[in-house]
Amino acid sequence: MDKIVIEGGYPLEGEVVISGAKNAALPLIASALLAGGVHVFDNVPDLVDIKTLLKLLDYMGARSSRNGKRLEIDTRGADKCEAPYDLVRTMRASVLVLGPLLARFGQARVSLPGGCAIGARPINLHLKALEKMGVKIDLEQGYVIARVDELKGAPVYFDVVSVTGTENVMMAAALARGTTVIKNAACEPEVAALADYLGKMGARIKGAGTDTIVIEGVSELRSGHYNIIPDRIEAGTYMIAAGLTGGDLFLRNCQAGHLQAAIAKLREAGLVIDVDSDGMRVRRNGPIRSVDVKTQPYPGFPTDLQAQMVVLMTMGNGLSVITETIFENRFMHVGELQRMGADIIVEGRSAIIRGSGNLLAAPVMATDLRASASLILAGLVAEGKTEVSRVYHLDRGYERLEEKLSSVGARIWRVK
């Protein structure tokens, strides 16, 4: 299995081009199932998660081809309404095919995703909402068997804000009879991006990006073309890398508007961030200041940047409390960071970090996607050579990570 080795202590300087957003690309690719035709997406990141979803669409009968950052998906032959366990198991977001399959074919057999490293992550809210739209759901041998003669628009209220839940319902509602109103909807930019593309396909959607989305069902959608928005989590990770190493990075192709909570917190922590129309310049002049952070649904501080923020706070000048409110078990990186000398204790949903400004290299193990990124960040400032194993998690969500980091001065390489 591959390992990544990092020799710490080098400030990052130069320019990093931010890739297209994984979490925007995944629902967009799933939405191609809503209309048989050739869908064209630009700025698609080359990531394992994207390949996994394309494998699933391929299994269903679609065909895709990639040319650089352009991806074309031909869904005319897609008629197998099944998402098997082997594919869903490796990536939870495979559940995004449920809404489109029900909307177009009235049936779906989708494996339940099961637990994952960062918590139970059930899909009960997706199922409850679809039932309100008239779908009959049975669970058999770990599979959701869903059927509907005709999807009906309905009022849907999410007890907990769910990103993929909102996306699934929006896609199903686009082809339902009547109007669906989603309350307590996820406001993430990736949800708004999906609504944009659905609009190009002929859907009638208002309010995406707010907590109330109104979808008036139409009888048919057509394929279209869409340019994927930049990955705000990748950008946030590089911002933290610049601050941690005391470097000076320009992040090209990122949208500061999608990162307002992170920008505010990072400025409070002592980073200097200049935003212009091409991207963001991020650097640090003084010490890293310890700040408290609480993760929240968008527009709050993203849970997907929590692990990286914990690393920044190990270099802070005092005490920091980082509270995770979205996932119940998202502090797996803490044990590994402790092995690198970090002074962190976890109490319930909070990590209490005493900044010491000193991390020591060690062999560490990645446990999930964002935890892996945090270990790479720790390696960038630790004294000595840090070896991160199980890097397949990183390959799921960070495009050409070692290449991008090396190009701005990091000493980082992969060992096969």
Contact (Cβ atoms closer than 8 angstroms) between residue 212 and residue 182? yes
List binders of ligand UD1 among 158-197 (CB under 6 A). Answer: 160, 162-165, 190
Strands 107-111 and 143-147: antiparallel
Per-residue string for binding with ligand UD1, 374-403, x by CB under 6 A?
------------------------------
Residue number with CB closer to ligand UD1 (108 or 123): 123
**Which ranges of 19-162 would DSSP assign to H, the alpha helix?**
22-31, 48-60, 85-90, 98-105, 124-132
Is 232 near ligand UD1 (CB under 6 A)?
A: no
Specify the residue for token string 């297209």: 20
Is 121 near ligand UD1 (CB under 6 A)?
A: yes
Q: Of 39, 126, 284, 393, which lies in the binding site for ligand UD1, with binding defined by CB under 6 A?
A: 126
- Work out the angle at residue 42's Cα, subtended by the Cα atoms of residues 41 and 44, and round it to the nearest 5 degrees: 90
Q: Is 187 one of the annotated active-site residues of the chain? A: no
Piece of 72-80, 120-128, 215-223, 249-257 that binds ligand UD1 (CB under 6 A) = 120-128
Whose CA is closest to 321, among 288, 298, 344?
344
Residue number with CB closer to ligand UD1 (119 or 155): 119
Structure tokens that stand for 56 in this block: 């699933």
Q: Of 223, 290, 303, 386, which lies in the binding site for ligand UD1, with binding defined by CB under 6 A?
A: 303
Q: Of 327, 344, 353, 393, which lies in the binding site for ligand UD1, with binding defined by CB under 6 A?
A: 327
Whose CA is closest to 123, among 186, 168, 183?
168
Is 92 near ligand UD1 (CB under 6 A)?
A: yes
Kindly give, in sequence order, each residue whose CB lies less than 8 Å from that of residue 298, ignoring residues fewer than 6 positions away.
186, 187, 188, 189
Residue number with CB closer to ligand UD1 (173 or 288): 173
| DSSP string covering 313-329 | HHTSSSEEEEE--S-TT
Is 119 near ligand UD1 (CB under 6 A)?
A: yes
Burial of 120 (C-beta count, 10 Å sphere; 0-12/13-18/19+)? exposed
Residue number with CB closer to ligand UD1 (126 or 284): 126
Per-residue string for binding with ligand UD1, 18-37, x by CB under 6 A?
-----x--x-----------
> How far apart are CB 336 and ligand UD1 at their closest, in Å?
19
> How far apart are CB 21 and ligand UD1 at their closest, in Å?
9
Whose CA is closest to 197, among 31, 363, 395, 8?
31
Q: Choosing from 81, 116, 187, 254, which is the catalytic residue? A: 116
Residue number with CB closer to ligand UD1 (121 or 204): 121
**Which ranges of 288-385 would DSSP assign to H, the alpha helix?**
306-314, 332-339, 369-381
> How far apart are CB 67 and ligand UD1 at their closest, in Å?
24
Binding-site size, ligand UD1 (CB under 6 A): 21
User: 262: part of which helix (H) or strand (E)?
Assistant: helix 260-268
Residue number with CB closer to ligand UD1 (123 or 235): 123
Distance in angstroms (rounded) separating the CA atoms of residues 86 and 279: 39
Is 123 near ligand UD1 (CB under 6 A)?
A: yes
Is 234 near ligand UD1 (CB under 6 A)?
A: no
Kindly give, in sequence order, each residue whose CB lies less than 8 Å from that of residue 59, ignoring residues fewer than 6 positions away.
80, 82, 84, 87
Residues designated as active site: 116
Binding site for ligand UD1 (CB under 6 A): 23, 26, 92-93, 119, 121-126, 160, 162-165, 190, 303-304, 326-327
